[in-house]
Amino acid sequence: MPGLKEVKNKIEGVSKTSQITKAMNMVASAKLRGAQQRMEAFRPYAAKFAGAMQKLSGGAGAGQPLMAVREVQSVELIVITSDRGLCGSFNANVISKAEKLIAQYEREGKKVTLVTVGNKATRAFKRSGKIRRSFTDIMGTFQMFNARRIAEEAAEQFLSKAADQVELVYARFKSLSAQIPTQETLLPIIRPAEQQDKANPTEYLFEPSPAEILENLLPLYLNVQVFHAMLEVGAGEQAARMTAMDNATTACGDIIKELKQLYNKARQAAITGDLMDIVGGAEALKG
C-alpha cells in the first residue's frame, strides 16, 4: 500500500491537470465560436461565387488551362492539419487518410508529392522525403492571403505539369462531434454540374468575354476552395479539442475518485495501526 503522502501528492497533481484541461476546454469552445462565425461570414461569398461560376460555365470552360484534364502521372496532395495538438485523433485521422492515399497512388505507379499545411502534417511527413513545400504556423490566422499563397503555388505546379492532379486532404467539420477526413480534387477544376435546363432567362452582358472572365475567376476559385478547407480545419480543430479536453476532465475526475478511496484506505490503515500500537502498549504496561 502506497504511503499517505504519496497518494495526497498524486491527488493534487491530477486535480491540477484537470484544472488545465477544463480551462483548455473553455478556451477551445470560445475559439470554436469564432471559427464558426468566420465560416458563417464566408458562406455568402462562397455561395455567390458558385452562382457566378455557374453562369459562366457552358462553353466558356473549353481551353482553360486550369480545367485541362490529362493523364495522371503525378499527384500532389495538400494535407491540411492544425498547428497544435491535444485535440484527440483529429490530426491523426487526416494523416492516416493521407498515408493511405499515398500508398494507393504509388501502387498505381503515380508519383506523389506533398504540400503540408499546419505543423502536425509537416512533422508527420518530415521523414517521408515527399514534402515539396510546407506551410506552418498559418492556421492561427484565417486570412485569405494564406490560402492564396497555397492556391497560387498549386496552380503553378499544375500549369508547369509538375503535377497532373492536385488534391486537398483535410477534415471536414460535420458537427461538434464529427470531423470527417475528406479528399477533394482541387486541380484540374471540375466544372460545377451544369444546370442549363434550369432556365437562364436573364441574358448577361459580359465584359470582357465570358472566357476571359472565367480565366480571371478560376484562380480566385482555387483560393475559395483552399480557404474553405482551412476554415473547416480551424473549426474542426477546436471542436475536436473541446471533446478531447472534456473527456480528459472526466477522466481526471474518475482518477481523483479512485485515488481518494485509496487515500482513505491508507488513512484508515494508519489509524488502525496506531491504535494497535497504543492498545498493545497499554496491554504491556498492565502485565
Is 252 marked active-site? no
252 touches another protein by CB under 8 A:
no
Shortest distance in whole angstroms from residue 136 CB to another protein:
20
Q: Would you count residue 42 as binding another protein (CB under 8 A)?
A: yes
How many residues at the interface with another protein, by CB under 8 A? 30
Indicate which residue of 7, 79, 87, 147 is catalytic.
87
Which one, 52 or 68, has the nearer CB to another protein? 52
Alpha-carbon gap, residue 264 to 43, rounded angstroms: 56
- Report DSSP letters for 13-39, one per residue: HHHHHHHHHHHHHHHHHHHHHHHHHHH
Bridge-based pairing of strands 178-187 and 165-175 is antiparallel
14 or 224: CB nearest another protein: 224
Interface with another protein, residue 132, by CB under 8 A: no
CA angle 171, 172, 178 (to 5 degrees): 90
By the rule CB under 8 A, 224 interacts with another protein: yes
- Peptide bond preceding 208 in cis form (omega within 30 of 0): yes
The Cα-based distances of 80 to 27, 139, 177 in angstroms read 22, 9, 19
Report the alpha-carbon distance of residue 107 to residue 86 in Å, rounded. Answer: 33
Q: Indicate the residue among 87 and 218 with the shorter CB distance to another protein.
A: 218
Cβ proximity to another protein: between 52 and 251 the closer is 52
Is residue 191 involved in binding another protein (CB under 8 A)? no
**Would you count residue 144 as binding another protein (CB under 8 A)?**
yes
Which residues on neighbouring strands pair with residue 75, listed in sequence order?
A: 112, 165
Q: Applying CB under 8 A, which of residues 124, 217, 239, 252 lies at the interface with another protein? A: 217
Among 146, 223, 243, 249, binds another protein (CB under 8 A): 223
Is residue 204 near another protein by the rule CB under 8 A? yes
211 makes contact with another protein (CB under 8 A):
no
Does 160 interact with another protein (rule: CB under 8 A)? Answer: no
Is residue 216 close enough to count as binding another protein by CB under 8 A? yes
Task: Judge whether 252 and 15 are in contact, CB under 8 Å.
Answer: yes
Q: Which stretch binds another protein (CB under 8 A): 62-70, 203-211, 255-263, 278-286?
A: 203-211
Q: How far apart are CA 79 and CA 75, in angstroms?
A: 12
Which amino acid is it at 256?
Answer: I
Give the other-Cβ count within 10 Å of 242's Cβ. 23
**Smaller CB separation from another protein, 223 or 243:** 223
213 touches another protein (CB under 8 A): yes
Cell of 206: 459580359
Label residue 142 left, alpha or beta by phi (over 0 means left) and psi (-120 to 50 means alpha): beta
Q: Which residues would be at the binding site for another protein (CB under 8 A)?
A: 38, 41-42, 44-45, 48-49, 52, 55-56, 142, 144, 148, 152, 202-208, 210, 212-213, 216-217, 220, 223-224, 227
Q: Which residues are catalytic?
A: 87
